[in-house]
Amino acid sequence: MQMIATTDTQQPLLEARQVWKRFGSIEALRGANFAIGRGEVVALMGDNGAGKSTLVKTLCGLYAPSEGEVRFDGRAVQLSSPKDAQALGMETVYQDLALAPDLDAAANMFLGREVLRGGLAGRLGILDKPQMRRRTVEALTTMKVALKSIDAPIATLSGGQRQSIAVVRAVTWADKLVVMDEPTAALGVAQSAAVLDLIRRVKESGRSVILISHNVPDVMAVADRVEVLRHGRRTARFDRADMSMENIVAAITGALVNEPQA
Amino acid sequence: MTDNSQNRAFRLEDLWSGPMRIVLVLGLIVAVFAIMRFDTFASFANVRNIGMAGAILLVMAVGATFVLITGGVDLSVGAVLVFSGVIAAKVMGAMGSDGWEVAAIGLLAAMAAGTAWGILNGLLVAKAKVPALVVTLGTMGAAQGLSWIIAGEDLRDVPYVLGDTVGVGSIGGIPVLVIIAIAITLLGGLMLQLTRFGRHTFAIGSNPLAAREMGINVDWHLVRVYGLAGLLAGIAGILSLARYGSTTIGGHATDNLQVIAAVVIGGTSLFGGRGSVFTTAVGVLIPATLASGLIMVGLNTFWRDVAVGVVLVAAVYLDQAGRRLTR
């Protein structure tokens, strides 16, 4: 049984300590631990029902933990809504992407955060469309995302391009951490590769990424570390050296445990 | 990184496949009638009549455009028009004079009555989660019934100034009713295209869950959209009083369907997320133009209903076909 040295010598950016989450008599999380450092890409893996979604929703403020604590930047935090998590610099890319298909890229980028013009026009609620378009083009350029058309409704774009808009939007508003829930699940090979590239660029920008995925090759391609959940608690951690298809699959199925179990 | 779609060469098929399609349809209808009966159809008096016929419907259709873009529907507009007119007539009758101040109070009363029904619709749709079709079917019946209960019979307490100026008056040859309808259409159109209110209206119709996840207060926005539709039905109520000099309680049973037909013919999607107030205006003009033209060429006016039915189904078919193409 190998011991894992934390790749980050500093304290983690976001950490779950002994988190329990109960829904009635069901224990979705049973003392789960999780940690991610600054600029790290950590894949959160596990079988269906292992507690990945519950853990992530707890980290994002959608659920309050029944027991245990969530720490951000070394301080215990009480997140009572996704807004609290956003205020800390965390954004989530939902599996449904949370995009409006009839609106263009800029409108989606600024959905719920529309920029108004200055002065009287702004008080009348008039949008500053040129500014939002310009900032959207900048953000897409920074992340090297090419769209067929920036002014077309995003329904006319490919699945990969829509996914990219959702990721770029999250990155634009998240100073510190982006959570991605199965970002490649609905995509073809080339489109998945583009999204993985995007994850690397998010990392290069100094932000951290929590990647929830079932896809072992994708995870091996971009993750710095893997944390595996099983039956509501973390059972294994791998850094790059130990990340292999065999280890990961063994950990997910329960054949391999490298974490001291209480 | 992105191609510049503005610089793309102009193509004829863009004109036909875009929202301007319906303007071409109207142009075609006008051209056919104008060729057949130029002197009468294209006369100023006739254009004026077409405008008058459409003006009150258009005021309601502006509100209905917002409602349909959120993915909802409002069947109550005709009944709310009647109810608002009854309240305004009651208030103005109680004041008993014929001056402008009475008309102004009447307008405020109609606007308040209409907005109240609209907010009730919005609360039931957004908070109680009852489907809009059912909510507005219910408020339609309630508003219509209460109108009869309150009024007893058609009221005619309309200040002389209101009928004389707003009802039949004109400025520079253009009917005041038409000027008011155009002003409301412009305001509504700009609000939809340029403001955050309009943007949220589109976003909610396009994907309500996404709007919620991105922090838009969907429930409150829906209340405001239905409130706006009610407000405009209230204004339509006072305009109708001005025009007919009576509450015409029994005369608006099909307003709701005419309004929805106009909005949909104008290219606004029944499924939400797409639409325009300006093309709604065209959607109002098509039935009005058909009605006027068919009389002039000697055809039974019931052919109008047939033609509007065809245009309506075609408009929804094209919207659906467009969606299949882009998704």
Task: Sketch the domain layout of chain B as residue ranges.
Answer: 44-319
Confidence (pLDDT) at A146:
87
Inform me whether the C-beta atom of residue B324 falls under 8 Å from chain A C-beta atoms.
no
pLDDT, tens only, A59-116: 988 888 999 999 999 899 998 877 888 889 999 888 888 899 999 999 999 999 999 9
Note whether B118 and B233 are within 8 A (CB).
yes
Question: CA B268, CA B298: separation in Å to the nearest integer?
Answer: 32
Residue B1 pLDDT more than 70? no
More confident residue, B18 or A102: A102
CATH number of A10-89+176-262: 3.40.50.300
Confidence (pLDDT) at A203:
93
Confidence (pLDDT) at B326:
56
> Taking CB atoms and an 8 Å limit, are A101 and B214 in contact across chains?
no
Inform me whether the C-beta atom of residue A193 falls under 8 Å from chain B C-beta atoms.
no
More confident residue, B130 or B44: B130
More confident residue, B208 or A259: B208
Confidence (pLDDT) at A5:
44
CATH number of B44-319: 1.10.3470
Residue B325 pLDDT more than 80? no
Is residue A33 classed exposed, middle or buried when 0-12, 13-18 and 19+ CB atoms within 10 A define those classes?
middle
Residue B13's pLDDT band (cuts 50, 70, 90): low
SS (H, E, C) B64-107: HHHHHHCCCCCCCHHHHHHHHHHHHHHHHHHHCCCCHHHHHHHH
Inform me whether the C-beta atom of residue A155 falls under 8 Å from chain B C-beta atoms.
yes
More confident residue, B104 or B37: B104
Residue B44 pLDDT more than 60? yes
Inform me whether the C-beta atom of residue B202 falls under 8 Å from chain A C-beta atoms.
yes
Considering only CB atoms, A102 lies closest to which of B3, B214, B274, namely: B274
pLDDT, tens only, A124-150: 999 999 999 999 999 999 888 888 889
pLDDT, tens only, B261-307: 999 999 899 899 999 999 999 999 998 898 888 888 888 878 888 88
Question: CA A237, CA A226: separation in Å to the nearest integer?
Answer: 6
Identify the closest residue of chain B to A144 by CA–CA distance: B1
Inform me whether the C-beta atom of residue B207 falls under 8 Å from chain A C-beta atoms.
yes
Residue B3 pLDDT more than 50? no
> Taking CB atoms and an 8 Å limit, are A102 and B273 in contact across chains?
yes
Note whether B241 and B119 are within 8 A (CB).
no
Residue B11 pLDDT more than 70? no
Interface predicted TM-score of the whole assembly (ipTM), two decimals: 0.86
pLDDT, tens only, B88-103: 999 999 987 778 899 9
> Taking CB atoms and an 8 Å limit, are B202 and A114 in contact across chains?
no
Average pLDDT over residues A235-241: 92
Question: CA B105, CA B112: separation in Å to the nearest integer?
Answer: 10
pLDDT, tens only, A144-157: 888 888 999 999 99
Helix (H, G, I), strand (E, B) or coil at B263: helix
Average pLDDT, chain B: 89
Question: CA B81, CA B258: separation in Å to the nearest integer?
Answer: 14
Q: Smallest CA–CA separation between A148 and chain B, in Å?
A: 6
Confidence (pLDDT) at B8:
45
Q: Count chain A–chain B contacts defined by CB atoms under 8 A.
A: 89
> Taking CB atoms and an 8 Å limit, are B210 and A100 in contact across chains?
yes
- Minimum mean pLDDT among A175-189, B17-31, B87-101: which range? B17-31
Residue A3 pLDDT more than 60? no
Average pLDDT over residues A13-38: 93
Amino acid at the residue B56: I
> Biggest alpha carbon distance in chain B?
69
In the stretch 64-93 of chain A, residues with CB closer than 8 A to chain B read 82-83
Q: pTM here?
A: 0.86
Average pLDDT over residues B71-97: 94
Q: Smallest CA–CA separation between B317 and chain A, in Å?
A: 18
Residue A210 pLDDT more than 90? yes
Confidence (pLDDT) at B177:
95
Residue B122 pLDDT more than 50? yes
Q: Smallest CA–CA separation between A238 and chain B, in Å?
A: 33
pLDDT, tens only, B252-268: 999 999 999 999 999 89
Residue A185's pLDDT band (cuts 50, 70, 90): confident
Considering only CB atoms, A112 lies closest to which of B6, B216, B326, namely: B216
Confidence (pLDDT) at B45:
85
Confidence (pLDDT) at A14:
94
pLDDT, tens only, B145-197: 999 999 999 998 888 888 888 888 899 889 999 999 999 999 999 999 999 99
Confidence (pLDDT) at B17:
62
Confidence (pLDDT) at A1:
39
Percent of chain B with pLDDT over 70: 92
Q: Smallest CA–CA separation between A211 and chain B, in Å?
A: 19
Note whether A21 and A66 are within 8 A (CB).
yes
Confidence (pLDDT) at B2:
40
Confidence (pLDDT) at A6:
45
Considering only CB atoms, A114 lies closest to which of B3, B199, B326, namely: B199
